[in-house]
Each structure stands twice: as structure tokens, then as C-alpha cells.
């Protein structure tokens, strides 16, 4: 890459990185707000909360990176063209392809980055994400006590705790336990705490008492200094982690195990997801081509390129929305999967056609429709 091309590449790279960082920050904010129930309802630690937010980010990269490329290309190319730096490049003998090649290389790098994320990073991250969500929702120890409220964290178990301090100690604890045969036992304790022994949760109660009726109807009342209640029988051992289409690797999407009920039922959805993983990185290159069409394809204009940038920006948004709609339609009809590739490729071809087509051969709105464009007839010749 020559010096001038490295300069153009750098002018495009830094706005792309800044736009990616800004959009990623917005994505982190949206994810953090959407996962607040992990702390509020599931009572998980801040570290688990942070892990869940970060593990959900690779899926957003598929949307963030192409948009960042589009925004950065608009900003950088408009500045380069407005400062007449691209005009100087043309005057120095550079071809149009050499002028836009740094932008194409940057978009190709963004496309390959999206592809790597889609094929390997996202499935790995989302599997860990699903495991953490499962652990949070099935964490009986975390859901056992809500301060000042009677809760039923499991069937046949009612728990009340007046306060819970920062160390996890539960004060003024009340537990009503019912066995499968209808035998009821009530525990009260001044203090309790959830502990784990060999991976199994235990509720250790101190300075309390237990009351239960015998088979003859006699009330048995016992006091204790320390008593451990096994919480393992109240855990739902039938629940298991089920990986969704977004959590699976490409070979699992295209070649599912049809003996499994989920794979058999969601075969079309998995095919749509697999094709989307391969097709969606193309939007990075398609958006760069559209941005080049808005600025480079228009030729130099002292009045600026605001109108073209706005129109092509809206067109890029429309193209991406149509892509999402097609992906949803593919879950019902696998024949539509070819459109997942056709839409970004069509936008890409249109953009490059606008860049390399001579400016003098365009006639207003007809230049936007390839099959309606005709070369301008020579002077003195009837159209």
C-alpha cells in the first residue's frame, strides 16, 4: 500500500473505530438495562451481571460494525472530498479504483471480522451466556429470601427473612417445610446463611427451634444452637440448558440432529440463522459501496453532499430493514434464503456501479435505476 493509500486508509480507519466504540457503548447500555432483573430479581452479583452483558455483545457486532462503517465512510469521505484531497489524487494520476481501494480494504476487513464473530465468537459467547442465565434462574440460594416478604422458592417450601445483611446472613428467619406425604415442619431461627457443601446448597440456621406434629397429633418442639437444612431436594433437577439457534455453530445449524425434538421443530429457523451468519457480513462491504456512491460517485460539488448522504443513508437503513424482514420470512419458507445474499450483493453492485459510471452519463432520477440510464446523445443528434 503506497503512502497516499495509507493516508486515505487512516482517514477512514479512525472514524470507523470511533463509530464502532460509540455504537458498542449504546449496545452495552441497552444490554445493561435489559438485564437489570439479574440483580434485582435473581439477586446475582455484579460480576455475573457484567459477564452476562459482555457475553451478549458479539451478537450485536453483526449490526454495529456495518453501521459504523457506513457512518465513518460518510464522515471521512465527505471531509476528503470537501477538502479537495480526492481531487488532488485524481490530478496526480491515480485511477478511481486506487482512490477507493483503501475504503474497500477497510470494508473487507470489517466484513471478515463480522464473519469470524458470527462463525466462532458468537456461538461460544452465547453458550456461556445461556449457562449463566440458567444458573441465575435456577439458583435457589439466591432466590431463597426476599427481605420482609414470604416467598415460595420451591414447591412445599415457604421462607421469610426479616433482613439480609451484606455478608448474606439472614436475620429472624422463618421456614415452613412440607414433605410429599403431608408432614409439616416449621423452623424459626435468629440467624441463617446459605452455604455449599460438595456443590449442594445448605441453609445453616443458628439459635432457633423446630416444631412439628407427630402422627398421633402431638406437637414436638425442639431448640437447637445450629441446624443444617438440605436444600437439594427443592432444586428442579429436570431443568436443563437448551441452546437456541443463536447459540449454535454453523455446522449445527446446517446439519442438525433431527432425532432431537428442538432441532426437528426449528429446522427452518436454524437454516435461516445459518444463512444469516454468512450473509450479514456482506452489509459492511455493501454499506461502504453505498457511501462511496454518495460522495465519490457524485464528483466534486462545492455545495456539498448532504442531500445525497441523507438519501443514501436512508436507503442503507431500508436495505438493512428489508434484510431483517427477509430473515424472518426465511423461518417459514427456506426458498427465501437466497434473498439474504441477494439484498446486500445488490446494494453493493449498485454502489460500485454508481462509483465507476461516468458522471456525465447520469440524468437525474434515472441514474438511480440502472436499466433506465442511457448515454447522452452527441450534440446535434436527435435523442
pLDDT tens, 148-168?
888 888 788 899 999 888 677
Residues 203 and 108 placed together within one structural domain of the fold: no
Asked which of 234, 265, 284 is the last residue of a domain, the reply is: 234
Q: How far apart are CA 115 and CA 123, in angstroms?
A: 12
Q: Tell whether 378 is covered by a domain.
A: no
pLDDT tens, 319-378?
999 999 999 999 999 999 999 999 999 999 999 999 998 755 554 444 544 433 444 444
pLDDT tens, 171-220?
999 999 887 777 889 999 999 988 878 767 788 999 999 999 877 778 88
Q: Tell whether 210 is covered by a domain.
A: yes
Closest CA to 82 of 294, 355, 367: 294
Residues 131 and 150 placed together within one structural domain of the fold: no
Total domain count, the chain:
2
Range of the domain at 250: 3-137+243-372
Residues 305 and 367 placed together within one structural domain of the fold: yes
Residues 97 and 153 placed together within one structural domain of the fold: no
Query: Residue with C-alpha cell 449496545?
Result: 27
Q: Is the pTM of this model over 0.85?
A: no
Q: Residue 300: pLDDT band by 50, 70, 90 thresholds?
A: low
- 3-state secondary structure labels for all residues of the chain: CCHHHHHHHHHHHHHHHHHHHHHHHHHHHHHHHHCCHHHHCCCCCHHHHHHHHHHCHHHHHHHHHHHHHHHHHHHHHHHHHHCCHHHHHHHCCCCHHHHHHHHHHHHHHHHHHHHHHHHHHHHHHHHHHHHHHHHHHCCHHHHCCEECEEEEEECCEEEEEEEECCCCCEEEEEEEEECCCCCEEEEEEEEEEEEEECCEEEEEEEEEEEEEECCCCCEEEEEEEEEEEECHHHCCCCCCCCCCHHHCCHHHHHCCCCCCHHHHHCHHHHHHHHHHHHHCCHHHHHHHHHHHHHHHHHCCCCCCCHHHHHHHHHHHHHHHHHHHHHHHHHCCCHHHHHHHHHHHHHHHHHHHHHHHCCHHHCCHHHHHCHHHCCCCCCCCCCC
Residues 283 and 298 placed together within one structural domain of the fold: yes
Asked which of 188, 210, 234 is the last residue of a domain, the reply is: 234
Residues 45 and 109 placed together within one structural domain of the fold: yes
pLDDT tens, 302-318?
677 888 999 999 999 99
Q: Tell whether 309 is covered by a domain.
A: yes
Residues present in the chain in total: 383
Residues 123 and 29 placed together within one structural domain of the fold: yes
Residues 96 and 160 placed together within one structural domain of the fold: no
Q: Specify the pLDDT at position 229.
A: 87
Residues 253 and 118 placed together within one structural domain of the fold: yes
Residues 133 and 261 placed together within one structural domain of the fold: yes
Asked which of 234, 267, 283 is the last residue of a domain, the reply is: 234
Q: Tell whether 100 is covered by a domain.
A: yes
Amino acid at each position: 500500500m503506497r503512502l497516499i493509500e495509507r493516508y486515505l486508509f487512516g482517514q477512514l480507519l479512525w472514524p470507523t473505530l470511533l463509530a464502532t466504540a460509540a455504537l458498542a457503548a449504546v449496545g452495552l447500555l441497552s444490554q445493561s438495562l435489559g438485564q437489570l432483573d439479574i440483580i434485582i430479581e435473581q439477586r446475582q452479583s455484579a460480576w455475573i451481571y457484567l459477564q452476562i452483558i459482555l457475553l451478549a455483545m458479539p451478537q450485536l457486532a453483526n449490526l454495529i460494525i456495518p453501521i459504523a462503517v457506513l457512518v465513518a465512510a460518510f464522515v471521512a469521505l465527505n471531509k476528503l472530498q470537501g477538502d479537495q484531497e480526492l481531487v488532488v489524487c485524481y490530478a496526480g494520476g491515480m485511477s478511481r479504483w486506487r482512490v477507493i481501494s483503501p475504503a474497500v480494504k477497510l470494508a473487507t476487513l470489517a466484513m471478515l471480522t463480522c464473519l469470524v464473530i458470527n462463525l466462532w465468537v458468537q456461538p461460544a459467547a452465547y453458550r456461556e451466556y445461556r449457562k449463566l442465565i440458567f444458573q441465575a434462574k435456577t439458583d435457589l440460594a439466591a432466590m431463597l429470601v426476599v427481605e420482609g416478604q414470604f416467598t415460595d422458592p420451591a414447591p412445599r417450601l415457604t421462607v421469610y427473612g426479616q433482613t439480609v445483611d451484606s455478608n448474606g446472613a439472614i436475620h429472624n428467619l422463618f421456614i415452613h417445610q412440607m414433605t410429599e406425604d403431608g408432614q409439616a415442619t416449621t423452623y424459626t431461627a435468629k440467624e441463617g446463611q446459605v452455604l455449599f457443601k460438595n456443590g449442594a446448597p445448605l441453609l445453616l440456621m443458628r439459635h432457633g427451634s423446630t416444631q412439628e406434629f407427630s402422627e398421633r397429633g402431638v406437637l414436638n418442639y425442639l431448640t437447637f444452637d445450629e441446624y443444617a437444612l438440605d436444600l437439594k431436594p427443592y432444586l428442579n433437577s429436570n431443568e436443563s440448558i437448551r441452546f437456541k439457534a443463536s447459540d449454535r455453530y454453523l455446522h449445527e445449524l446446517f446439519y442438525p440432529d433431527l432425532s432431537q425434538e428442538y432441532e426437528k421443530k426449528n429446522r427452518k429457523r436454524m437454516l435461516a440463522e445459518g444463512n444469516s451468519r454468512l450473509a450479514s457480513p456482506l452489509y459492511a462491504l455493501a454499506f461502504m459501496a453505498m457511501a462511496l456512491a454518495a460522495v465519490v460517485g457524485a464528483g466534486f460539488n462545492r455545495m456539498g453532499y448532504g442531500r445525497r448522504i441523507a438519501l443514501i443513508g436512508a436507503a442503507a437503513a431500508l436495505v438493512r430493514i428489508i434484510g431483517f424482514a427477509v430473515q424472518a420470512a426465511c423461518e417459514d419458507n427456506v426458498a427465501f434464503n437466497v434473498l439474504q445474499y441477494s439484498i446486500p450483493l445488490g446494494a453493493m453492485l449498485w454502489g460500485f456501479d454508481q462509483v465507476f459510471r461516468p458522471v456525465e452519463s447520469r440524468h437525474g432520477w434515472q441514474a438511480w435505476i440502472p436499466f433506465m440510464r442511457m448515454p447522452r446523445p452527441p450534440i446535434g443528434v436527435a435523442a
